[in-house]
Amino acid sequence: MELSFHGHSIVKIKTNGTNIIIDPFIRGNNMTDLKVEEESPDVILLTHGHNDHVGDTVELAKANNSLVVAPNELANYLSWQGVNAHPMHIGGSYQFDFGKVKYTQAFHGSSYVTENNEIIYTGMPGGILFYAEGLTIYHAGDTALFGDMKLIGERNEIDVAFIPIGDNFTMGPEDAAYAVSLLKPKTVVPIHYNTFPLIKQDPKVFAELVKESEVQILEAGGTVVL
């Protein structure tokens, strides 16, 4: 399995011959190294409906006949745009041919703003547990700190966790570090910071607060070392 971080909350996974991208916010993301026209995902996983996470999903999915996996209401909305979408919901899991996906809770919002400034409700936000090749990957999505992260950590031996640290909209460094103590991943990668002024953070502050897990601070395009 190959894992890489590409700015904001974008994570790419290559496993079992499948190219997966999580939350492909590419255009308008000054922290990413990706270009929409150069990406060819087989699968797109979405944590929630905010524009900085759905990003370029529709264009990518149509161009590459990608499968889009998303929370139910968001999946329905995307299917109306002509996308091949698989709906899921919090607590549910599904065994795909490329790996197993399970949605966890996340404490946040979830809506999509159209070009006409319409706000489309897109259901509950989530985190994603991904299982393949004997490894467990956790992408927390956008979330506050919550106590049931302890249950997620107790019930899963997490190899790599991608955790937001930007504050204002999600956990800040202090809460994120405490989340890591509950989740107990082997490795943690900070995400969702420095894209906008409101989420400006120094990831080294987060790294200093984490005591038991290895922290890998990655620039866009950086690969997680397993």
Question: Which residues does 116 contact at the CB level (< 8 Å), separation at least 6?
Answer: none
How far apart CA 155 and CA 163 sit, in angstroms, is 18
**What pLDDT shows up at residue 225?**
80
How far apart CA 203 and CA 133 sit, in angstroms, is 29
**What pLDDT shows up at residue 226?**
79
**Segment 52-109, tens digit of pLDDT:** 999 999 999 999 999 999 999 999 999 999 999 999 999 999 999 999 999 999 999 9
**What pLDDT shows up at residue 117?**
94
**What pLDDT shows up at residue 140?**
98
**What pLDDT shows up at residue 53?**
98
**What pLDDT shows up at residue 120?**
95
Q: Which residues of the chain have pLDDT under 50?
A: none
Closest residue by Cα to residue 45 from 7, 82, 78, 16: 78
How open is the CA angle 24-94-80, to the nearest 5 degrees?
50
| All domains of the chain in start order, with CATH | 2-223 (3.60.15.10)
How far apart CA 22 and CA 189 sit, in angstroms, is 14
**What pLDDT shows up at residue 25?**
98
H/E segment holding residue 155: helix 149-155
Strands (E) in the chain, as ranges, are: 2-5, 11-15, 18-22, 43-45, 67-71, 84-88, 93-96, 99-105, 111-113, 119-121, 126-132, 135-139, 160-164, 187-191, 214-215, 222-223
Match 């120094």 to its residue by tokens.
202
pTM higher than the cut 0.95: yes
